[in-house]
Amino acid sequence: MPDTLPTTRAILADLIAFPTVSRSGNRALVEHVRALVEPAGARVVLTDDGDSANMWISVGPENVPAVVLSGHSDVVPVAGQAWSRDPFMLHADRGRLYGRGTADMKGFVAAAIRAMLLAARWPLRTPLHLAISFDEEIGCVGVRSLLPMLAAQPVRPLLVWIGEPTGLALASGHKGKSAYRVTCTGRAAHSALTPQGLNAIHLACDFIAALRTVQHDLISGTAPDPAYDVGYSTVHVGVIRGGEALNIVPDSCTLDFEIRDLASDDVTAIEARIRAAAEAIVAPWRDRFAEAAILIEPVNHYPGLDTRHPGALAFARAVSGHNGAEIKLAFGTEGGLFAQSLGVPAVICGPGSMDQGHKPDEFVTEDQLARCDAMLERMIARLVTGLGSAFPMQS
């Protein structure tokens, strides 16, 4: 391999230096990557959103079905975390590379950029694309502005390869996620006269109890999917806010909850049950308190992924070297959006572990990056030979 090709570690060091915390913008990183790949002959398209942009990089023939590598450029915040080193400077120590985003998921993005530079030197028969999106960590937000452009292309991809950290195990699915903001409305009163008021925090507590009943029923009424670490759909309250002073019956309380659903569960039916439970909580109070309400508003949703295409999975197994059963992930990716919007299969496989992601002193091992490089080189070799216009349905 030519010495002039930058190493994944060197590319990663540059990426880590950009503090692309979600909502803070990724423009500087995108321009850095463009300056790296365009001179190598890669074609670049940006979908612009002010300080942030999705990046679509292409090598190989045009208007031919391709394999797409996909990763996000944003990272979670470091505020409030006890880092032992600068999180936005790559640090190497005993085979580990430390820095915010090394595992989730600039390690894969760095390896994918190197793969694009390498692929640009070969006569590919099947093209290779790289999608770098923004604001994935807040609900796969950024990539949504890229999908209409791809849907308008004359050909669809053969496969989307999401490089989220799986320890390089091959994942064929993940749960969907729906997030909601709930506003509980009661009536204020002096706490010495509590019966004259309707405590919104109490309404919220009753609503949370109803969510816990739904969660119990999802566990007891579903045959667990053994491919997941958590083999059933989950309901979770993450934020609650209410009250101004102890001597005031609060008239408002808000909370945020989420549903992470298996493909086999109907999230619409789960949501409908939760809405019915909310109405049952406030209905008895309306004779005395006409304003009593529990308002549930959707905030964000992305679909789950359940790839079963035998030909695409056979290709992914061969490239990844994964010979066992595919795993499924409790956390979400843009894979479900690609599959839903474009009708193409998607898999997840990347270096590092989510056990290291989102934590202080996040790291990826040098061994994982080296193995990821080798995996992508195997993929490029297959693209030189060519995959044809479609994967066969039977492997």
* The dihedral formed by the CA atoms of 273, 274, 279 and 284, expressed in degrees to the nearest 10: 100
Instruction: Identify the helix (H) or strand (E) that includes residue 311.
Output: helix 310-320
Q: Are 316 and 68 in contact (CB under 8 A)?
A: no
Phi, psi at 334, each rounded to 5°: -75, 0
> In whole angstroms, what is the distance from residue 159 CA to residue 152 CA?
17
Structure tokens at 273: 């049950």
Instruction: Identify the helix (H) or strand (E) that includes residue 339.
Output: helix 335-342
Q: Are 310 and 390 in contact (CB under 8 A)?
A: no
Structure tokens at 345: 């299969």
Q: Which residues of 234-261 are buried (b: 16+ CB within 10 A; e: fewer)?
A: bbebeebebeeeeeebbbbbbbebbbbb
> In whole angstroms, what is the distance from residue 179 CA to residue 337 CA?
16
DSSP state of 21: B
Nearest to 333 by CA among 226, 173, 158: 173
Query: Is residue 136 among the annotated active site residues?
Result: yes
Specify the pairing of strand 327-329 against strand 171-174. Answer: parallel
Torsion sign (Cα): 166, 169, 171, 174: negative
Catalytic residue among 31, 38, 62, 136: 136
The residues annotated as belonging to the active site are 136
